[in-house]
């Protein structure tokens, strides 16, 4: 096999390289996950260094900071969406919706660093952010549908409306006494939906 620069490379060697690259990539993700949860503003240079990898390697795998954060985000979000279906299977729709919101708040508070790292500079309206949120939006839609079915939630509001109304969670201090404030927020929003 001929590499891009015309050097002869054995197929075995190519596989080794691929495997190594995959390991580098997942190692970078792991290190970045820890670093970004602690400090969402951590520098890419610091992440590369802490992963024991050249800065160029980080850029090779993740061309932009958003690419890196998005990759971390995706797994978390999928899990969160899955929780909605689990709750719907176990509980009455009204209870499931409320419990899911509580879980959502826990998630936001736990991952505050990661989430805020997704902000492009300042605001969070980017293609990637919306893409990352799509499974969550769909999950909420299922929760709302179940509640509409039993007349617990009126029609006319969408999952995105609910998400917008709970965006304030990101501005609560994870180190502070956020639980009562989150509870009141949910009380307010759920009352609006009924």
Partner DNA sequence: ACCTGAACACCGTTCAAGT
The residues binding DNA (CB under 7 A) are 3-5, 7, 9, 14, 17-18, 20-21, 24, 43-46, 52-57, 59-61, 63-65
Q: State which residue, 64 or 158, has the beta carbon closest to its own copies.
A: 158
Structure token digits, residue 4: 């891009």
Please state the three-class secondary structure of 25-68 as a single string. HHHHHHHHHHHHHHCCCCCHHHHHHHCCCCHHHHHHHCCCHHHH
Long-range contacts of 9-13 (CB under 8 A, 24+ apart): none
Residues 6+ apart with CB under 8 A from 2: 8, 9
Rank residues 90 and 160 by Cβ distance to its own copies and give the closer one.
160
Nearest to 162 by CA among 112, 105, 124: 105
The residues that bridge with 120 in the sheet, in sequence order, are 123
**Of 53, 62, 173, 51, residue with least CA distance to 113:** 173
Shortest Cβ 54–DNA spacing (Å):
3
Rounded distance between C-alpha atoms, residue 63 and residue 56, angstroms: 10
* Cβ closest to DNA, residue 32 vs residue 172: 32
CA–CA distance, 141 with 167 (Å, rounded to integer): 17
Question: Which segment (45-53, 62-70, 77-85, 171-179) binds its own copies by CB under 8 A?
Answer: 171-179
Binding test (CB under 8 A) with its own copies, winner from 89, 123, 151, 155? 123
Question: With respect to DNA, which residue has the nearer C-beta, 6 or 89?
Answer: 6
Stretch that binds its own copies, among 53-61, 64-72, 87-95, 117-125 (CB under 8 A): 117-125
Q: Which does residue 57 touch among its own copies, DNA, none (CB within 5 to 8 A, set by kind)?
A: DNA
Q: Segment 143-162, which members bind its own copies (CB under 8 A)?
A: 157-158, 160-162
Q: Which residues bind its own copies (CB under 8 A)?
A: 40-41, 112-113, 116-117, 119, 121-125, 157-158, 160-168, 170-173, 176, 181, 184-185, 187-193
């Amino acid at each position: 096999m001929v590499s891009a620069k015309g050097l002869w490379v054995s197929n075995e060697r190519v596989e080794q390289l691929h495997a190594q690259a995959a390991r580098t990539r997942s190692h970078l993700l792991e290190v970045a996950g820890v670093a970004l949860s602690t400090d969402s503003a951590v520098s890419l240079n610091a992440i590369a260094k802490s992963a024991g990898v050249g800065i160029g390697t980080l850029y090779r795998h993740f061309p932009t900071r958003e690419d890196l954060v998005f990759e971390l985000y995706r797994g978390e979000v999928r899990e969160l969406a899955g929780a909605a279906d689990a709750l719907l299977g176990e509980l009455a729709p009204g209870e499931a919706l409320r419990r899911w919101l509580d879980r959502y708040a826990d998630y936001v508070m736990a991952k505050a660093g990661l989430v805020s790292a997704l902000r492009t500079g300042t605001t969070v309206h980017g293609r990637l952010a919306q893409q990352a949120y799509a499974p969550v939006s769909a999950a909420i839609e299922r929760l709302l549908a179940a509640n509409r079915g039993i007349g617990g939630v009126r029609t006319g509001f969408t999952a995105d409306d609910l998400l917008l109304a709970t965006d304030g969670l990101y501005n609560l201090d994870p180190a502070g006494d956020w639980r009562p404030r989150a509870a009141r927020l949910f009380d307010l929003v759920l009352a609006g939906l009924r």
